Amino acid sequence: MSKPARAVGIEITGVNLSYGATHVLKDVALSIRPGEFFAFLGPSGCGKTTLLRLIAGFAQAQTGKVLLDGQDVAPLPPWKRDVGMVFQSYALWPHMTVAKNVAFGLEERRLPRREIDRRVAEALDLVGLSAFAERRPAQLSGGQQQRVAVARTIAIEPKVLLLDEPLSNLDAKMRVSVRRELRSLQQRLGLTTIFVTHDQEEANTICDRIAVMDAGTVQQVGTPMELYENPANLFVANFLGSANILDERAGVPIPAGKRLVFRPQHAALTSPEGAPLRGPVTHREFLGATVRYAVRIGESEVLIETPFQSGNEMRSVGDQVGVDLPPRRMLFLPA
């Protein structure tokens, strides 16, 4: 376990999955590289968890293939897949101690007792819970339970690691430290890992690449920076960070069938004279490092964030302002 296992790639091609009349996954195709920390990111109901469960064998696709290390896993039941999954609820068995929970998968593999004991100790050591081996899950904090769930899964040395919203049951402060732990653990093990989340910050901070999903389809795949800088469509632009979206009524030339998209911090406020985009300030929010203005342009409202320094000239609600937007910051995305 301490030595990085040979990492495995995952190929997903042409997957369609429906529950009755609901089409949950539509023509999903993804290629996840060996050793990669990959995220499925999207709002609830976008199909990301279903896709994860499909890989683990808890859902059946009507069409398409999932290849693990080049091998089609469709004929394999969940217990033969060697795909380690950490459940959103952790799913720790309350009737077993921490050590028993971690030993479970090893016992199912009929390993010799000594080998089991060694690997349980190693896994608990890896997540820093050696002292808690004989506790019951109910006696642990949320963060500790989460680490037991991870230890239980990596103890079997799975081919890939699946994390289903692993941070959602933790408080805000724990999330930051746990996600760092997860990242460094993944780096040490060199394990291909898929991380399901609805939180773009989580995905951005720890994942190598992200697949943004909406309504059962993959919208875009890329590194966090690529997705932020070059969103493929309005959904991605909106989901990763905030974005201002304007149509042709705004007063600047916009190609037919497209929308003008820009980030709040990429524009600045100027005097209204001669500015192509202009209007009254409708709100002002002081955020500390920045000041966020809302400006009405035609029928729409855009947000502009300007850095705050004492002595800066502040605009007031009702002031007429112009919006200065460098052409290289303008994105034209399909409506």
Partner 1 sequence: MRGQYLLALAIALFLGVFLIVPVATVVYVAFTEKGGGGLTLVNFLDFGRTDLFVRSFWNSVYVSAMTVVWASVLALPLAYLTTRFEFRGAMLVQTLGFLPLIMPPFVGAVAMQLLFGRNGSVNLLLDEWFDFKIGFMEGLNGVIFLQAIHYFPFILVNLSAALRNIDRSMEEAAQNLGSHGLRLFRRIALPLALPGYIAGASLVFVKVFDDVATPLLLNVKEMLAPQAYLRITSIGIDDPMGYVISVVLILVAVATMWATALVMKGKDYATTQRGGGGLARRKLRPREQALAYAVVFFILALVLAPHVGLVLLSFATVWSFSPLPDGYTLAHYTRVLGDSSVYIKNTLLYAGLAATIDVVIGGAIAYLVLRTRLRGRQWLDWAASTALAVPGVVLGIGYLRAFYGVNLPDGTPLATLWIVIVLAIAIRRLPYALRAAYAALQQISISLEEAAENLGATKARTVRRVVIPLMTGGLLAGFVTSFATAAVELSAVLILVQSNSDAPLAYGLYVLMQTPAGRGAGAALGVIAVLIVAVCMWLSQLAADRSQRARGLDI
- Which stretches of the chain bind partner 1, using CB under 8 A? 56-58, 77-81, 83-85, 87-89, 91-95, 104-105, 108-109, 136, 152-153, 156
State which residue, 136 or 296, has the beta carbon closest to partner 1. 136
The identity of residue 33, as a single letter, is R
CA dihedral 259, 265, 269, 272 (to 10 degrees): 0
Smallest distance from the beta carbon of 194 to partner 1, in angstroms?
Answer: 14
Which is closer to partner 1, CB of 105 or CB of 216? 105
* Residue 42 exposed, middle or buried by CB count within 10 Å (0-12, 13-18, 19+): buried
What angle separates helix 113-126 from helix 142-154, to the nearest 10 degrees?
Answer: 140
- Beta strands of the chain (E only): which ranges? 10-19, 22-32, 37-41, 63-68, 71-72, 83-86, 160-164, 192-197, 209-214, 217-222, 244-246, 258-262, 268-270, 277-286, 290-297, 300-307, 320-324, 331-334
Closest contact distance (angstroms) between CB of 47 and partner 1 is 15
* Residues 16, 18: Cα–Cα separation, whole Å: 7
Rg of the chain, C-alpha, whole Å: 24
Q: Which is nearer to partner 1, 96 or 268 (CB)?
A: 96
Q: Based on CB atoms, which residue is closest to partner 1, 13 or 169?
A: 169
**Counts for the chain of helices (H) and strands (E), in that order:** 8, 18
Q: Least distance in Å: CB of 8 to partner 1?
A: 16
Is residue 284 within 8 A of residue 291, CB to CB? The reply is yes
Distance of closest approach, residue 89 Cβ to partner 1, in angstroms: 4
Question: How many C-beta neighbours within 10 Å does residue 121 have?
Answer: 15
- Find the shortest distance in angstroms from Cβ 279 to partner 1: 44
Cβ atoms 83, 32 nearer than 8 A: no
Nearest distance, CB of residue 86 and partner 1, angstroms: 9
Of 81 and 278, CB closest to partner 1 = 81
Of residues 154 and 206, the one with the C-beta less far from partner 1: 154
C-beta closer to partner 1: residue 113 or 283: 113
Measured CA distances, 294 to 48, 55, 275, 285 (Å): 33, 44, 17, 9
CA 65 to CA 73: how far, in whole Å?
8
Nearer to partner 1, 153 or 220 (CB): 153
Enumerate the H helices of 155-286 as residue ranges: 172-189, 200-206, 224-229, 234-239
CB-nearer residue toward partner 1: 84 or 279: 84
Length of the chain: 335
**At its nearest, how many Å lie between partner 1 and the CB of residue 165?**
10
Min dist. Cβ of residue 107 to partner 1 (A): 9
CB of 82 to partner 1, least distance (A): 8
The beta-carbon contacts of 282-285 under 8 Å, at least 24 apart in sequence, are 282/317, 283/317, 284/314, 284/315, 284/316, 284/317
